[in-house]
Structure 1
């Protein structure tokens, strides 16, 4: 036993446990020896009951007969299944004779996680790093699986539902009997929720008697709900967006279960819930920089495995939103509490949730009419932290550290008015960047006021929208009269064309114009196209074709950039059409033709003959 204790003292993170705790562990540990070829557990078998630590020898973790991890002395495995309560996602095979493992029961491992933060942090970080070694096949990438899997395909625990008039003491008894940490509260067609935390905070901490309280008095209403037919990826985004750990799942009007984050933590994943939890509790720029690097690797992998660009954009945006919100909190810790309300907005592609792998940061700040010096200091510290984390600077200096993009509410009203009343090129450029704004930190009310003001000003200006629409038709798709691709004739990008300038921008800008014209509040181009269809601005066929053309162009750009990053190059927006397959060239030409049709629609609708 002394030998095992000494081994743990030299093995991270066990060496961070108190010495007395390490000694106590020895009574629970099993030492087992294996020979070459032995299988410790198989992929897809029942969830594991032991944590494994390699003492001597070597073990391979394999998935679909491909090597994922090569484990040696001191390496720990099996914890993903223990944490997620899911079957192991790999097969553990011994590859060397006289391999010895320490085996720790699941119960003891989970107790250690709950008692010691540094010990627990090691395993959460290891979960995040796993994807670096995952074979790059479409089925191995977690984000893609989360899109393909529907919520109804996940086995959900049957929910405990009580009537709103139920006495809390009775509900607590039922929760204990059902081994549930929560119960749903039904009031007519609405549902609420009570968790263990609610009982502690709202009842026990206030010395209230649960026998004299009805469940409706402490329940949270309403709960966030989702259809069981939705992709699991959408469920995760919803949980991340609202900062909730439990999502009520319905089939029609019937509640079928509750999805929580533990249900979806699985092997080799960069699960968005897991990452966001780590981001939200990070205490320094260094911790955030580590998580940012993990997120970037995840995104590149998602692109290379064929993930839908709409989901890629939303995935990037959701993570970046949490990074920026956490940085705003760290900034307040450094410079003090703000003297008045403010909000940090993301604009441009970030505002639309359509970032590419080349995207820099575009942000703006709005605050009430006070604290000019405070927000000057706040903004500089905020941007310095973002740069330290890994966010690239904006070459155009569209950042809140630039006073031009940091204004009081009234000053923003004046600036927007100036842009709209005087739509010269630089103002149109600023409008194109700014008018996709959305809030990521601070007061949502300030953003709503700004949006209402924009709506009002656009309505009263007769020339603004045509000027904006003229930008959408300025750059024609790079197709010749004979429908061959027009490429650069010389220079660094010889033989290529700029897919952003000649393909993506006309769609984004044109859809933005129609969105402003029809008072649509959505910022994402895919969602805007669908909204324009629902309002009858686009026919169903045209909307479908334009959306799929845009999706194809976004996918081409993302894939090209991901390959450049993998090759150690700086990503750009240029595409070489000669390396595309025959089928891809055909789809690309069809996409450009659809954009030409869209530009003709804009040209006629806004009478742009006077702008050419």
Structure 2
């Protein structure tokens, strides 16, 4: 006979993550074992310091508040509503609950047995990833090894929108200098050494043989409870619940090892076995800390940030991610794509905060990023480039609408500046009346640029052809692109103008392939990697992509990749150019983090010999690209 109740419960679970990732037949088996609990308003499901339940929970109806009490004041961390999960601590930690779950109203929750659910994680990495990120997002920061007592993660228990693919690239920061102690050392001595060295554990060795590991949990559960005295030998309280992993273990692999073996920590060795020396310890808190810096979670935190100071802290977290990703050789195209999404989320949240100050917009609009932000190539804190388009309104509303969006743009620009994005020196920002106007005015602007290129005193409008929506109406962005693609590809004179601007930049290399350095001024004897190399690639990719009617991505790397498919004759040149461009970005980014600047100018004599050779190799394809440009466009218009 079918268990119709279990099937109904499984149908409910299947509508929500992570259960939607599990085959329905397996969900029915889980549903047959779950516990149904009805809670009255203000009834507590579990509270701080309660022993862990054998269940985790999903809200079936109503709402559950998660809170902590500090200095006699209750602080609400989160509210879990229908379909959201809570109470994941028993999965990932051994100590008691660290927050209180209390019904906000009459509620029903389903308790899902952890022993029943755990085996499903071993065959489904997406479910595992969701649960660990959910746990990370609701864990108090002061439970993390590296965060310190700085408040609480402001996040929900929902999973991030981003892909989990990155976690198979993302490496872990962990304790690479384990504390080693002797078996004869007393618990008191070991505890003091752990405190003095800020360690969460101590590895017990005897004649280079591993006897066990003492953890903070062992101290609290076996000593603080009075089961053994402080004078006991540490070996008596040591745990043997650990797993060996190799030194290059990724975040996802570490997660899976902890779940598969129900182990509180991982021991790191060169080959992942106990036959080689222990070189590190990975604690659960290291995984949670890594998750807290995961871009998917960063975007979620950004969306819920309530102040510019919070956004500034989150921007710093992204900086940490970029540095780690580059060090661990994550493909730079991948890093650029993810960083671009985080940058866009920061811009959008700044706009949201500005709207809170000035009220709802009077009409639909689009806030568009340009320059490196629009191309998703902004790995450093470079300057802002953006413009705003608002829909056409009745003549009697024009002045009020324009004034609103100028105020909004000024506040947004200030917020972005406070986060760390300096204002554009050329004033290519939406707080400039020239770059904050109606859709019709923008159509006229693009028509003017394309019909009258190269006018005296007219600056190169190229970056305004690299735009991407940061906030607002996607239809406005789409309509603007439709206009651009209707007037640019067939306008040979304008394309020739863009092409001429691209190849007339000062050359990067001189005779004997020596770097052309700045001869005077503030940057004397430095190499202008931005203008002499990076932007030449950007502008060549842009003009050829526009001529081929490529839209959908303004990223330079992606443009070259698409051109390689469209033009087999030049495919090899475009492929090499795409990789060379990424190499230039990588060199600039590394130098920027070393110097704490935007690294537009770099000291080539301070580069390693291999980096100097890489820099030269990344510049050399420009010569072939320039020949392609000369053959494609009638540069005699502007000779």
TM-score, with structure 2 as normaliser: 0.57
Task: Compare relative contact order (CA 8 Å, sep 6+) and give the higher one, 1 or 2.
Answer: 1
Which segment drifts farther, 334-343 or 403-412? Answer: 334-343
Deviation at 1:470, TM superposition (A): 0.4
Question: Which residue of structure 1 aligns with residue 390 of structure 2?
Answer: 367
Question: Which residue of structure 1 aligns with residue 603 of structure 2?
Answer: 576
Partners of 1:347 and 1:433 within 8 A in 2: yes
Which segment drifts farther, 506-515 or 528-537? Answer: 528-537
Looking at structure 1, the residues matched to 444 and 428 of structure 2 have their Cα atoms a distance apart, in angstroms, of 18
Partners of 2:589 and 2:599 within 8 A in 1: no
1:601 is aligned, of 628, 632, 638, to: 628
Please give the secondary structure, in 2, of the residue aligned with 1:365.
strand
Question: Which residue of structure 1 aligns with residue 122 of structure 2?
Answer: none
1:382 pairs with 2:412: yes
Looking at structure 1, the residues matched to 607 and 556 of structure 2 have their Cα atoms a distance apart, in angstroms, of 25
Q: 1:90 to 1:550 in 2, by over 3 A?
A: closer
1:278 pairs with 2:305: no
Show the 5 A alignment for 1:251-290.
Answer: 266-269=288-291, 270-290=293-313
Question: Whose Rg is larger?
Answer: 2
Question: Which residue of structure 1 aligns with residue 340 of structure 2?
Answer: 317
Question: Which residue of structure 1 aligns with residue 548 of structure 2?
Answer: 518
Partners of 2:95 and 2:217 within 8 A in 1: no
Structure 1 segments unaligned to the other structure (5+ residues) = 6-11, 22-45, 54-67, 107-137, 158-261
Deviation at 1:592, TM superposition (A): 2.2
Show the 5 A alignment for 1:44-55.
Answer: 47-50=92-95
Deviation at 1:600, TM superposition (A): 1.2
Please give the secondary structure, in 2, of the residue aligned with 1:584.
helix
Partners of 2:302 and 2:314 within 8 A in 1: yes
Show the 5 A alignment for 1:521-540.
Answer: 521=551, 522-536=553-567, 539-540=570-571
Please give the secondary structure, in 1, of the residue aligned with 2:519.
coil
Q: 1:515 to 1:103 in 2, by over 3 A?
A: same
Give per-residue Cα distances to partners, 1:302-347, cap 9 Å, x unaligned.
4455554433332332112111212222222221111211010001
Give per-residue Cα distances to partners, 1:504-558, cap 9 Å, x unaligned.
1111101100111111112111111111111126533222211121111111111
Question: Which residue of structure 2 aligns with residue 545 of structure 1?
Answer: 576
2:453 is aligned, of 407, 423, 431, to: 423
Looking at structure 1, the residues matched to 604 and 388 of structure 2 have their Cα atoms a distance apart, in angstroms, of 40
Partners of 1:476 and 1:596 within 8 A in 2: no
Give per-residue Cα distances to partners, 1:22-68, cap 9 Å, x unaligned.
xxxxxxxxxxxxxxxxxxxxxxxx95322699xxxxxxxxxxxxxx9
Question: Which residue of structure 2 aligns with residue 611 of structure 1?
Answer: 638
Which segment drifts farther, 293-302 or 354-363? Answer: 293-302
Deviation at 1:98, TM superposition (A): 9.8
Looking at structure 2, the residues matched to 354 and 592 of structure 1 have their Cα atoms a distance apart, in angstroms, of 18
Give per-residue Cα distances to partners, 1:232-266, cap 9 Å, x unaligned.
xxxxxxxxxxxxxxxxxxxxxxxxxxxxxx9x974
Q: Size of the alignment, in residue pairs? A: 414
Partners of 1:276 and 1:322 within 8 A in 2: yes
Question: Which residue of structure 1 aligns with residue 591 of structure 2?
Answer: 560
Partners of 2:68 and 2:74 within 8 A in 1: no
Which segment drifts farther, 341-350 or 366-375? Answer: 366-375
Q: 1:520 to 1:428 in 2, by over 3 A?
A: farther
Looking at structure 1, the residues matched to 68 and 581 of structure 2 have their Cα atoms a distance apart, in angstroms, of 48
1:446 is aligned, of 464, 476, 480, to: 476
